[in-house]
Amino acid sequence: MGHPAIESLGVMTTQTPPADAPLLQMQGIDKSFPGVQALHDVALQVRVGEVHALVGENGAGKSTLMRILGGVHQRDRGEILWHGRPLEIRSPLEARAHGISIIHQELNQVPGLSVAENIFLGREPRRALVWVDWTQMRLRATRLLADLGLSIDPRRRLGTLSVAEQQLVEIAKALSSEAELVIMDEPTAALTIEETQRLFGFIRDLRTRGVAIIYITHRLEEVFSIADRVTVLRDGQYVSTTAVADMTLDELIRLMVGRRLTEKFPKETVAPGEAVLEVRGLTRAGVFEDVSFVVHHGEILGIAGLIGSGKTEVAHAVFGADPIDRGEIYLDGRRVAIPSPSAAIALGIGLVTEDRKRLGLILQMSVRANITLPVIRTLAPAVFIRRRREQALVAQAIRDLHMAVTSPEQLARNLSGGTQQKAVVAKWLQTHARVLLLAEPTRGIDVGAKVEMYRLMVDLARRGVGIVMISSEMPEILGMSDRILVMHDGRITAEFPRERATQEAILASASGRPPSAV
């Protein structure tokens, strides 16, 4: 199949490309969106069979660069060489035909279709050319998922899976195609340690088969455990490409943010006050059972647990988003009924949801409208919304959280993933809640921003806010919590004070094993 771009450059095609040509070379890549130059003169070079990490702060342009490779965006300028030859990638289908497979940061699957249909979307196994071979499709899907250690029924509707499971399906999909280059845009953001380890096993497998991998992550430790080389982007510009072996974590952070980060967990313990939120015997049949806990003013309570342990569901129930079957909730000692999220907000409870695209943001609204949505009533004392006050609030939030936005009017869907996450957090800072439930608050945000987020939490705690932090990130659970609850299978299985918590003990309780280390 002659590619027009190749044929017309006759000279190039008659020569075979040099044998040691890198698999992929991108040079001088520019890309602008209205109001932002997302990439400026960016270069990237990937060798056959290497794991190449791509890192940078939120909004640095990582996903944009990958979307150009994946045929989602077209570059404004620059050159892409594939096996040493110029390549035009005009659509996702073309990318796949060339052997480029991409796991997008923002899941883009069809929630209404089954898991198997999603995996084989656009390349369904056929019978007699027209009929989809359902049996074949289901069998192959089951095998793929089993390879990843998943026991998901491929007939289940994708929308019924958790974020992590959806992410794993997306990975299965990318692995199922015969790709020479697999791009993974923050594949582990929603995964637990075990799942991450399994994924790494796969990546190593792929590497030995000569497949190259571009790996984007904000968990920088991962760079050191899996990658061969790392390229750093900053503000849409190329900074460096280095062999991981010649690099330290501190060095990498300095390249990313342009300065040194002194501490990763700016934890300060605030002397806890009275109980602000108390939950007794909370039960939702089949989801969680007899959950009781207390959070005090100024305390950060960490809740750890594996996927499916029910930890996020508890937060949703306390917030009035899901119904409960039994149980009592007390706020500042007074028993309250929380039938709906608006009731929860009125009582001073906030919830930073886990899934920013599906639950956290209204993607086609502006950053401004998103941030003020929970408090918009208070901004309209009479009939009309006080524009000035709204703008002032939003400007403040953008400054406080260092959000990478071109203007407050930028649509939420055009923000980088990490900036979207900050927007969700910004929403709940407006409500001046006395209890903040944070579900995976730092998912997908960069190292610098993480530290800012932690500072913010400490700051809120100091002002007396009770914080419940639900997280799958062991380091932040250990680094930021005053007290840690562990959930397994819908029940609280252990509680640790900060001083006595260890990763091993938490993991043991989270997987339902008897806590030997305690």
Partner 1 sequence: MRFDRAVVHAALGHLSLTPIRNVLRRFGIAIAFVLLMAILAVLSPPFATASNLFNIARQVSINAILAAGMTFVILTAGIDLSVGSVLAYSGAIMAGVLVSSLPLLVGIGAGLALGALLGLLNGVIITRGKVQPFIATLAMLTMARGATLVYTDGRPITGLPDAFVWLGEGDLGWIPVPVVIMGVVFLAGHLILTQTVLGRYVYAIGGNEEAARLSGVNVTVYKTLVYGISGLLAAVSAIILTARLNSAQPTAGSGYELDAIAAVVLGGTTLAGGEGSIGGTLLGAFIIGVINNGLNLLNVSAFYQQVVKGAVILLAVLLDRRLR
Ligand X SMILES: Nc1ncnc2c1ncn2[C@@H]1O[C@H](COP(=O)(O)OP(=O)(O)OP(=O)(O)O)[C@@H](O)[C@H]1O
**Side chain identity, residue 37:** Q
Interaction between residue 82 and partner 1 (CB under 8 A) = no
CB 47 within 8 A of CB 23: yes
Calculate helix-pair angle for 387-400, 417-429, nearest 10 degrees.
Answer: 120
Smallest separation (angstroms) from ligand X to the CB of 506? 27
Q: Nearer Cβ to partner 1, position 195 or 390?
A: 390
Interaction between residue 107 and ligand X (CB under 6 A) = no
The tokens describing 294, both together, are 């207390």
CA distances, 13 to each of 24, 47, 60 (Å):
17, 21, 35
Interaction between residue 231 and ligand X (CB under 6 A) = no
Interaction between residue 327 and ligand X (CB under 6 A) = no
Q: Which of 92, 90, 102 is nearest to 3 (CA)?
A: 90
Smallest separation (angstroms) from partner 1 to the CB of 503? 32
Q: Which of 448, 353, 456, 341 is nearest to 396 (CA)?
A: 456
Q: Is 92 helix (H, G, I), strand (E, B) or coil?
A: helix
Smallest separation (angstroms) from Mg ion to the CB of 394? 23
Smallest separation (angstroms) from ligand X to the CB of 323? 34
Residues that bind ligand X (rule: CB under 6 A) add up to a total of: 19
**Which of 29, 81, 223, 369 lies at the binding interface for partner 1 (CB under 8 A)?**
369
Residues that bind partner 1 (rule: CB under 8 A) add up to a total of: 39
Interaction between residue 86 and partner 1 (CB under 8 A) = yes
Interaction between residue 253 and ligand X (CB under 6 A) = no
Smallest separation (angstroms) from Mg ion to the CB of 415? 10
Kindly write out the interface string for residues 297-336 of this chain, putting x where it contacts partner 1 by CB under 8 A and - elsewhere: ----------------------x-x---------------
Tokens 């909004």 correspond to what residue? 59
Q: Measure the CA–CA gap between 137 and 224, rounded to whole angstroms.
A: 37
**Which of 359, 396, 406, 448 lies at the binding interface for partner 1 (CB under 8 A)?**
359
Interaction between residue 425 and ligand X (CB under 6 A) = no
Interaction between residue 345 and partner 1 (CB under 8 A) = yes
Smallest separation (angstroms) from ligand X to the CB of 95? 17
Smallest separation (angstroms) from ligand X to the CB of 215? 13
Interaction between residue 384 and partner 1 (CB under 8 A) = yes
Q: Nearer Cβ to ligand X, position 433 or 445?
A: 445
**Which of 61, 187, 360, 444 lies at the binding interface for partner 1 (CB under 8 A)?**
360
Choosing among ligand X, partner 1, Mg ion, none, which partner's interface includes residue 362 (Cβ < 5 to 8 Å by kind)?
partner 1
Phi, psi of 457 (to 5 degrees): -65, -45
CB count in 10 Å sphere of residue 256: 23
CB count in 10 Å sphere of residue 17: 13
According to DSSP, the β-strands at 288-296 and 275-284 are antiparallel
Query: What part of residues 330-389 is at the interface with ligand X (CB under 6 A)?
Result: none
Choosing among Mg ion, ligand X, partner 1, none, which partner's interface includes residue 5 (Cβ < 5 to 8 Å by kind)?
partner 1
Length of the chain: 518
Choosing among ligand X, partner 1, Mg ion, none, which partner's interface includes residue 38 (Cβ < 5 to 8 Å by kind)?
ligand X
CB 35 within 8 A of CB 192: no
Q: Measure the CA–CA gap between 55 and 232, rounded to whole angstroms.
A: 5
Q: Nearer Cβ to Mg ion, position 105 or 509?
A: 105
Interaction between residue 27 and partner 1 (CB under 8 A) = no
Q: Nearer Cβ to Mg ion, position 104 or 297?
A: 104
**Which of 118, 231, 414, 493 lies at the binding interface for ligand X (CB under 6 A)?**
414
CB 241 within 8 A of CB 231: yes
The tokens describing 257, both together, are 């943010």
Q: Nearer Cβ to ligand X, position 351 or 404?
A: 404
Q: Nearer Cβ to Mg ion, position 405 or 494?
A: 405
**Side chain identity, residue 160:** T
Smallest separation (angstroms) from partner 1 to the CB of 21? 18
Return the ∠ at Cα 123 (arms to 118 and 129), rounded to 5°.
130
Interaction between residue 427 and partner 1 (CB under 8 A) = yes
Q: Which residue is nearest to ligand X (CB)?
A: 418
Interaction between residue 261 and partner 1 (CB under 8 A) = no
CB 311 within 8 A of CB 303: yes
CB neighbour burial string for 393-426, b if at least 16 within 10 angstroms, e if fewer: bbeebbeebebbbeebebebebbbbbbbbbbbbb
Smallest separation (angstroms) from ligand X to the CB of 74? 12
Q: Is 127 helix (H, G, I), strand (E, B) or coil?
A: strand
DSSP letter for each residue of 212-275: EEEEE-S-HHHHHHH-SEEEEEETTEEEEEEEGGG--HHHHHHHHHSS----S---------SE
The tokens describing 212, both together, are 């190259």
CB 217 within 8 A of CB 55: yes
- Which parts of this chain interact with ligand X (CB under 6 A)? 33, 36, 38, 56, 58-64, 105, 404, 414-419
Residues that bind partner 1 (CB under 8 A): 4-5, 8-9, 34, 76-77, 79, 86, 88, 319, 321, 340-342, 344-346, 351, 353, 358-365, 369, 373-374, 376-377, 380, 383-385, 387, 427
